[in-house]
Amino acid sequence: MPPKGKSKEDKAAIKQLKDALYARCAQEDPEKRFSTEDLLELGVIRRNDHEMLMQCTQVLLAEGLFQVSSTLDGALFQVIRKEDAARYVM
């Protein structure tokens, strides 16, 4: 579910990047938690494109494929297996 108010091209780019980001994160230890810097360092999203990262993580959270927790240093994201994602979607 790409963000509303975006063009078809923007929505397609967000979908492609969020799918690639999820696939790359899913290759790591299932218990790993990623900071925003960790996610950018994966090389899926351009290094300083924090806006695109935010859009992708918002969609992944909405789809239940990422879970977020807050720390004093900021947000940490954990990958949720697709089979388990339905339990996290509200």
- What is the Cα–Cα distance from 82 to 55, expressed in whole angstroms? 19
> Is residue 1's pLDDT more than 60?
no
Domain boundaries, given as residue ranges, for the chain = 8-80
- Output the pLDDT for position 43: 94
- What is the Cα–Cα distance from 83 to 38, expressed in whole angstroms? 24
Amino acid at 84: D
> Is residue 20's pLDDT more than 70?
yes
Q: For 30-40, how does the pLDDT look when each residue is reduced to its tens digit (9 = 90+)?
A: 999 999 999 99
Of 8, 84, 17, 89, nearest to 53 by C-alpha is 17
Top CATH class, 8-80: mainly alpha
